[in-house]
A and B are shown apart, each in its own frame.
Chain A
Amino acid sequence: MRHSEKATMTLTIQVRRGTYYDSVVLMQLQRALLALPGVRDAGVVMGTPANFDLLRQSNLLIDPPRDARAEDLIIALRADSDASAEAALAQIDALLARRSTPTDSEYRPRSIESAARMSPNATWVLVSTPGRYAARVARDALDLAKNVFLFSDNVPLDQEIVLKQIAAQKGLLVMGPDCGTAIISGAALGFANRVRRGNIGIVGAAGTGIQTVAARIHNLGGGISHALGTGSRDLSDAVGAITARQSLALLARDPATDVIVLISKPPSPAIAEMLLRAARAIAKPVVIDFIGYVPEKNRDDNLFFARTLSDAAELAIECVPSFPSVPLFPGTEMKEQREIRKLSGYFRALYSGGTLAYEAQLILRDYLDTIYSNAPLLTTNQLPLTSVSQAHTILDLGADEFTVGRLHPMLDNDLRIRRLHQEARDPEVAIILLDVVLGFGAHPDPARELAPAIADARATRSIEIVAVVIGTDDDPQNASAQIAQLQNAGARVFTDHAAAVRAVGEMIGKKSERIEKIERLEIRDSEIVALIIAPNISLDTPFAAINVGLESFYESLKQQNQDAVHVDWQPPAGGNEKMIALLEKLKRNL
């Protein structure tokens, strides 16, 4: 920005206390403000410290307002003049009011209870409310004997444990919290790709991990029976893998599932052993990718060990008898094999998928000495300031600190585009890597927004941009069309994540012959017992769901012609803590 231009700019900030809007509404408001005359940039976020950092990065803020709280709605504007800023602020109520229920529309229930009356066959409840309310909503669902897909993050660990224990007692399943992806009988929940139905079942503790494996299986010609998410903490010692064990049990007895894939970051040895024993007791092949865990052998009876997500998909396909081989994205895949040229400079990755960010760090350990991250493998590599990259940096922009009161980067490209420009301006940067995750729940056309930003970045100087597209041609966005847009903008596009990261490694580093540390996991046959809590639910009943929270999840279910009811959820007692406490007290009195 030129100084003269800067001098005429005006920065305005408005704080709205105790107002709740879901993050899709915030994004819509932000876009609507940007379209107003004289408004150069706008930020509409909840008042968390991380969001204030982002506003500062975008030159939308100098100092955060004093006493701003995480529950406050923050509207920051950069406008040509005070008059334009004021005119824009005056529009806010009208812009927000557009959202209110139009007349003559179908009734929108305000609680799961009412929704359950309207749709008595619903067996699943999708919960994506803010984390502090999510456990209560999930509990209401369990009380009505519904299974829960708990997308919300920031749910306290003790609440997760209580929910899962109650669910296990009732024979119900709680996927999550922080469960991004699931596929139940062909219905894609949350962020999930449209994949053909088949005989491979997935249990995953990581949303993008499931998406990557499911999309790759589809692209290799295979199909998915069900994909069950556990949430990122399920495999911790504290939770004890309750959901993962239930899920394995479900898939073990599911007649539509012939092969099972289990994906997770490496659990503690105790949990790993528990799961491996449970898997050994299943009379079906189980492909295991404890991402980063290097097994002693590649196969142990019915267990197959994968090293990457791509590898897991391929192993699962190999376990399916008489499988036909199909070409991958004919015409596009060949370009992945382009000659690798050596580059000097730093590497920056802007991930929307946490599991991919994690896998990338693991793969690049073989090529680069130090990689900083906001979610590093080793705490010594913690990025000091998440708003500024240093040396080689891998960012997980879907991590909590970037998403509290803000839309996930799979839905909103704004943050990634801002960051892409920021990295491209850094003269020491030679390669930028982006993942582009497609599917239901994701942005309807990410390449349309990312491609011009990529072209811009490459126009200023020679910089390599690598894009990994996770998706299928059946996805609403169409993977081939997305790949073409990104390639036309000059990006080097991959559909195999591990291959993309290795290519980056080759370009910028040197493969070292590291001695891999072998973590031995011994399973003695005599100890193989079924440590499984089997839910009462059956996966082959027709899918029907109640959605509480993000309306886009409801819309994506309707787009898939699935039976769904959306709850017009609001925080209890309007978020009034005193009233919430009283209501809890009256409920305890039951």
Chain B
Amino acid sequence: MDIESANREAVTRMIEARPVLIGMGKARAVIPGMKDNLLLHAGPPITWERASGPLRGAMIGALIFEGRARDEISARALIERGEIEFDSCHHHGAVGPMAGVISPSMQVYIIENKTHNNRAYSNLNEGYGKVLRYGAFSDEVLARLRWMNDVMAPLLADAITASDGIDLKALIAEALHMGDEGHNRLKAGSILFLRALAPHLAKSAHNNSDLAEVLKFMGDTALTSLNPVMAGCKAMADAAHNIADSTIVTTMARNGTDFGIRVSGLGNRWFTARADIPRGLYFPGFNADDANRDIGDSTITETVGIGGFAMANAPAIVTFVSGKPKDALNATLEMYEITCAEHKYFTIPYLDFRGTPVGIDIRKVVEKQITPRVNTGIAHKNAGVGQIGAGLVRPPAQVFEDALVAFASGMRD
């Protein structure tokens, strides 16, 4: 197939994928290739030695959560003895925000793409503050994780089953018209998510106090829908992966050390380079010196045409870009330069309902020297401190150039 047709095929699959949240399950039971001694993490594959503070903290916390280690020291010893394997979430159809650590007994969302029948997975969102995904593993963090796993997840599982599935594509499309861009702002999406589940939660709950706690927990954090939305995006991206001769990016992900991409026509090969430190607004008391390098799988949103690419939908958070609504518009307009299509279902009212830019073409990125815009949270570089700001980051141009070289070398002259 020629490149243009291959790209059309890939991006059409990405656009036509219809991810639906169909249930929950233990990672060990539902994620393909999950093993007892395996920890999944965000971004491209990485070794313990090269892992950043938040990622290490999350891995330690996960081992304690799993009961494999009593404390930090024993967790480190376990890892250093080589008894624990790490792998990229992306090799298992999964995604996780920030450190993105998924351990075998964690409950995960199961998303099925009803158009192409592939599945994707993500963990539950823990809310704000000291949380595992930012590398915290205090007793309080672990206690919350256990409650989420033991109380909230079973209730969610029953509610999802009773709901007959939550159509995440419809949810994203609607949230985009309510001021979300789907990565840094999920206020609307999370309310829609809760609204869809609330009656089923009420029907499934065995007692009102658990129900109230779950509703409050989900309602208190505007990031509740981030994880299922990310898994929905992952299902769309995977549907476009492995189309021979396509130069469309199907994965963008960071592990806190490296930024990695994968390209549809280049199989499971990663192209990585040192991740940048995001530019943005910091919470009081923090500055760029405290920031960890860019981290998390949430760039899967930009990969399928939302997040930073849909900035024009979210004027409310334009302060992360510069402060003027026109700049939010310009951010989206710039992304049309490097994409090969406009989304059929995700549209932008302010641009006369033009579709969001979708399908990043590595050729356009290299030719125009415009790298994708990513809206992102900023993690503290030390494990467990948490989120210290939010802002904008771009992948290193190097990864797109390396991918282009690899692509060209695989072609017949």
| Interface residues in chain A, defined as those with a beta carbon under 8 Å from any beta carbon in chain B | 103-107, 109-111, 114, 117, 570, 572-574, 576, 579, 582-583, 585-586, 589-590
Contact = CB atoms under 8 A, between A and B. Distances in A.
A574 B334 contact: no
Nearest to A572: B367
B164 interface: no
A586 B333 CA distance: 25
A574 B408 CA distance: 19
A573 B323 CA distance: 30
Contacts of B247: 586
B368 interface: yes
B3 A589 contact: yes
Nearest to A582: B408
B327 A583 contact: no
A204 B408 CA distance: 44
B334 A590 contact: no
A589 B336 CA distance: 23
Given A103-B323, A109-B337, A573-B367, A582 B404 contact: yes
Given A103-B322, A104-B326, A590-B3, A579 B334 contact: no
B366 interface: yes
B73 interface: no
Interface in B366-413: 366-370, 401, 404-405, 407-408, 411, 413
Interface in B299-344: 322-324, 326-327, 329-330, 333-334, 336-337
Contacts of A583: 363, 366-367, 404
The 6 A-B residue pairs whose C-beta atoms are closest, nearest first, are A104-B324, A107-B333, A582-B408, A107-B330, A103-B322, A572-B367
B2 interface: yes
B337 A111 contact: yes
A107 B334 contact: yes
6 contacts: A104-B322, A110-B370, A573-B367, A582-B404, A586-B3, A590-B2
Contacts of B401: 573, 576, 579
A350 B367 CA distance: 41
A103 B327 CA distance: 6
A579 B368 contact: no
Contacts of A576: 401
Chain A interface helix/strand/loop/mixed: loop
Nearest to B413: A585
B220 interface: no
Contacts of B363: 583, 586
Contact of B329 (A107, A110, A574, A585): A107
Contacts of A574: 369
Contact of A105 (B4, B326, B408): B326
Contacts of B330: 105, 107
Nearest to B327: A103
B411 A586 contact: yes
A497 to B, nearest CB: 44
Contacts of A105: 326, 330
Contacts of B327: 103-104
A589 B247 CA distance: 12
- Report the contact-size class of chain B (Cβ under 8 Å from the partner): 20 to 34
B334 A586 contact: no
Among A110, A574, A590, chain B packs the most CB atoms within 10 A around the CB of A110
Nearest to B397: A574
Contacts of A107: 329-330, 333-334
B366 A573 contact: yes
A586 B324 contact: no
A34 to B, nearest CB: 31
A111 B333 CA distance: 12
Contacts of A582: 366, 404-405, 408
B153 to A, nearest CB: 44
Nearest to A117: B336
A114 to B, nearest CB: 6
Contacts of A573: 366-367, 369, 401
A130 B270 CA distance: 36
Interface in B19-50: none
A110 B368 contact: yes
Nearest to B324: A104
Contacts of B2: 589-590
Nearest to A101: B330
A590 B4 contact: yes
A572 B329 contact: no
Contact of B368 (A104, A117, A572): A572
B334 A110 contact: yes
Given A110-B334, A110-B370, A586 B407 contact: yes
B337 A570 contact: no
Contacts of A572: 367-368
Nearest to A118: B333
A342 B143 CA distance: 105
Contacts of A586: 3, 247, 363, 404, 407-408, 411
Nearest to A570: B369
A111 B369 CA distance: 12
A103 B368 contact: no
A280 to B, nearest CB: 47
A105 B401 CA distance: 30
Nearest to A586: B363
A570 B368 contact: yes
Contacts of B323: 103
A114 B324 contact: no
Contact of A111 (B326, B368, B405, B407): B368
A33 B336 CA distance: 37
Nearest to B369: A574
- Most chain A CB inside 10 Å of its own CB: which residue of B3, B322, B333: B333
A114 B336 contact: yes
Nearest to A111: B337
Contacts of B407: 586
Contacts of B370: 110
A182 B370 CA distance: 33
Given A103-B323, A111-B337, A586-B411, 9 more contacts: A105-B330, A110-B368, A114-B336, A117-B336, A583-B363, A585-B411, A586-B404, A589-B411, A590-B4
Nearest to B330: A107
A450 B405 CA distance: 52
Interface in B163-183: none
A124 B270 CA distance: 42
Contacts of B329: 107
A307 to B, nearest CB: 50
Contacts of A110: 334, 337, 368, 370
Nearest to B411: A589
Interface string B108-152: 000000000000000000000000000000000000000000000
Nearest to B2: A590
Contacts of A579: 366-367, 401, 404
Contacts of A589: 2-3, 411
A283 to B, nearest CB: 47
Contacts of A106: 326
Nearest to B245: A589
Nearest to B331: A107
A104 B407 CA distance: 38
Contacts of B408: 582, 585-586
A110 B337 CA distance: 7
Contacts of B413: 585
A103 B337 contact: no
Contacts of B324: 103-104
B150 to A, nearest CB: 49
Nearest to A585: B408
Given A103-B323, A103-B327, A114 B337 contact: yes
Contacts of A109: 333, 337
B262 to A, nearest CB: 18
Centre residue among B327, B337, B369 by max chain A CB count within 10 A = B369
B20 to A, nearest CB: 34
Nearest to A575: B369
A582 B367 CA distance: 10
A111 B401 CA distance: 19
A590 B4 CA distance: 7
